[in-house]
Amino acid sequence: MKDKKQLTAWDKKYIWHPFTQMKDYMNMEPLMIERGEGCYLVDTDGKKYIDGVSSLWVLVHGHKKKELIEALINQSQKLCHSTLLGLANVPSTVLAQKLIEISPKGLTKVFYSDNGSTAVEIALKMAYQYWQQKGERKRKTFISFTNGYHGDTIGSVSVGGIDLFHKVYKPLLFKTYKAPAPYCYRCPLKLKRESCDMACVSAYEQLVHSHRHELCAAIIEPCIQGAAGMITQPRGFLSAIWKITKENGILFIADEVATGFGRTGTMFACEHEKVEPDFLCLAKGITGGYLPLAATLTTDEVFGGFLGEFHEFKTFFHGHTYTGNPVASAVAVANIELFKTEKTLTHLKPKIRLLTKELERFKNLPHVGEVRQCGFMVGIELVRNRKTKEPFTPEEKVGQRAIWEARKRGVVIRPLGDVIVLMPPLVIETEILQELLHVTYESIRVVTE
């Protein structure tokens, strides 16, 4: 093992970190993680940090989980990779059966890839090709939401709606319709939650109705827009949107890359409102946070649209080299089994309630504008002026400074602008959860004093 000085020098010299202003990063002392242990990350000095955002929203059963490591080792001793292009392998087959078993009704087919962006790209391409092959050639576009996030590849950015990330690429993107997403704290329709009667649903309906013959599919992050700043949707919004797409005969893509695998308290967020999507995009938590893997689930109806004679070329010409990787699939199988054997979702319930209760006191901090929660996804929006909701300026780097304070106190978190995000591993012990909240509270207090 190289010493820490050498490693941090190489990090600064060679690595370009994602979503990171490298000018700032190169002036900082990098935090070099060496190990993981349950809900903690451990750096090269042996210092422990609570993994407060589950290593970017992926961790479910904690680091160094025996069953997951065993699954990984056992499978890697048998077979590390073989292609899924015209060939099957054992773990990805077992996993497909399990995914269908736990997912919403109507989903019957699994298409693998290796990250959330590709899971979304696949759903978009399938939906498009499905209609083309059905002879509905005018259907060439999608409807998505403002503030939506579906990944970083060009297709997934096309259906994205976060100007800060996506605006610069605009000339490269395909056309989509953007409906106003509910962001009740800063309502795009300038209405009040108590009296709005979910006007955003009507706006959606109008938009869908006027473009229904051009639309292939609708895409949504069910219940909560993650990367936008943990923006929760009012109850009933998701099912209303789903119903509108059904009535207008367009396909419905649920991007559960962030919300899947228990994050919101149920296995999938669609369950909260009994929604049965035509596509379910999964990644992040699918292997419990151990290896890259993704899946796009769809229906017999969509699958059937691709069947034909070889020479008709109705084939879905898409596939990644590591599609259905056996090691990642084996870990994903073990991950799903742990949900059952350890009753992860049952144990999560009281922890969600505790989190709700503990978050109350954050509302007393003078610069906390809104606290949002959906299960184990939390966003704390910091504002300069609570009355006017005036934000801090980017120069103030309030979110950044808060997480640096947290780091000093032994917590790793990552903000989304001025929204402090908490996404603890689902199995976090109560005391560690309390400590995470305590440190977050103090960090916000210190930087906004």
Closest contact distance (angstroms) between CB of 316 and ligand PLP is 20
Minimum distance between the CB of residue 160 and ligand PLP, rounded to whole angstroms?
A: 9
Residue 96 sits in the site that holds ligand PLP (CB under 6 A):
no
- Least spacing, CB of residue 292 vs ligand PLP, in Å: 7
Q: Does residue 166 touch ligand PLP according to CB under 6 A? A: no
**∠ CA 302-303-307, rounded to 5°:** 120
Q: Among the candidate windows 130-138, 183-191, 251-259, 356-364, which touches ligand PLP by CB under 6 A?
A: 251-259
Residue 405 near ligand PLP by CB under 6 A: no
CB of 45 to ligand PLP, least distance (A): 29
Q: Which stretch binds ligand PLP (CB under 6 A): 43-51, 64-72, 144-152, 385-393?
A: 144-152
Sort strands 377-382 and 294-299 into parallel, antiparallel or unpaired.
Answer: unpaired
What the block records as the tokens of 396 is 């103030």
Taking the complex as a whole, the smallest distance from the CB of residue 283 to ligand PLP amounts, in Å, to: 5
Q: Does 227 bind ligand PLP (CB under 6 A)?
A: yes
Per rule CB under 6 A, is residue 255 in the interface with ligand PLP? yes
| Of the residues 128, 130, 149, 290, which one makes contact with ligand PLP according to CB under 6 A | 149
Interface region with ligand PLP, contact rule CB under 6 A, candidates 22-30, 122-130, 254-262, 369-377: 254-262
The yes or no reply on residue 288 touching ligand PLP (CB under 6 A) is no
User: Does 283 engage in binding with ligand PLP (CB under 6 A)?
Assistant: yes
**Per-residue string for binding with ligand PLP, 103-142, x by CB under 6 A?**
------------xxx--x----------------------
Q: Which residue is nearest to ligand PLP (CB)?
A: 116
Q: Which of 150, 166, 272, 351 forms a contact with ligand PLP (CB under 6 A)?
A: 150
296 contributes a contact to ligand PLP by CB under 6 A: no
18 or 135: whose CB is closer to ligand PLP?
18
Q: Is 258 one of the binding residues for ligand PLP (CB under 6 A)?
A: yes
Long-range contacts of 31-38 (CB under 8 A, 24+ apart): 31/407, 31/412, 32/4, 32/7, 32/8, 35/63, 35/64, 36/62, 36/63, 36/64, 37/63, 37/64, 38/62, 38/63, 38/64, 38/425, 38/427, 38/429
CB nearer to ligand PLP: pick between 149 and 392: 149
151 binds ligand PLP (CB under 6 A): yes
Q: Is 262 among the residues that bind ligand PLP (CB under 6 A)?
A: no
User: Comparing C-alpha atoms, which of 376, 333, 285, 226 is closest to residue 61?
Assistant: 285
Smallest gap from residue 96 Cβ to ligand PLP (A): 19
Q: Give min distance, CB of 144 to ligand PLP, in A.
A: 11
Q: How far is the CB of 268 from ligand PLP (least distance, A)?
A: 12
Q: 3-state SS string over the chain?
A: CCCHHHHHHHHHHHCCCCCCCHHHHHCCCCCCEEEEEECEEEECCCCEEEECCHHHHCCCCCECCHHHHHHHHHHHHHCCCCCCCCCCCHHHHHHHHHHHHHCCCCEEEEEEECCHHHHHHHHHHHHHHHHHHHCCCCCCEEEEECCCCCCCCHHHHHCCCCHHHHHHHHHHCCCEEEECCCCHHHCCCCCCCCCCCCHHHHHHHHHHHHHCCCEEEEEECCCEECCCCCEECCCCHHHHHHHHHHHCCCEEEEECCCCCCCCCCCCCHHHHHCCCCCEEEECHHHHCCCCCCEEEEEEHHHHHCCCCCHHHCCCCCCCCCCCCCHHHHHHHHHHHHHHHHCCHHHHHHHHHHHHHHHHHHHHHCCCEEEEEEECCEEEEEECCECCCCECCCHHHCHHHHHHHHHHHCCEECCCECCEEEECCCCCCCHHHHHHHHHHHHHHHHHHHC
Q: Does 226 bind ligand PLP (CB under 6 A)?
A: yes
What residues from 182 to 221 belong to the interface with ligand PLP (CB under 6 A)?
221
Residues near ligand PLP (CB under 6 A), total:
15
Residue 293 near ligand PLP by CB under 6 A: no
Shortest distance, CB of residue 335 to ligand PLP, whole angstroms? Answer: 16
Stretch that binds ligand PLP, among 32-40, 102-110, 145-153, 341-349 (CB under 6 A): 145-153
Residues that bind ligand PLP in the complex, under the rule CB under 6 A: 115-117, 120, 149-151, 221, 226-227, 255, 257-258, 283-284
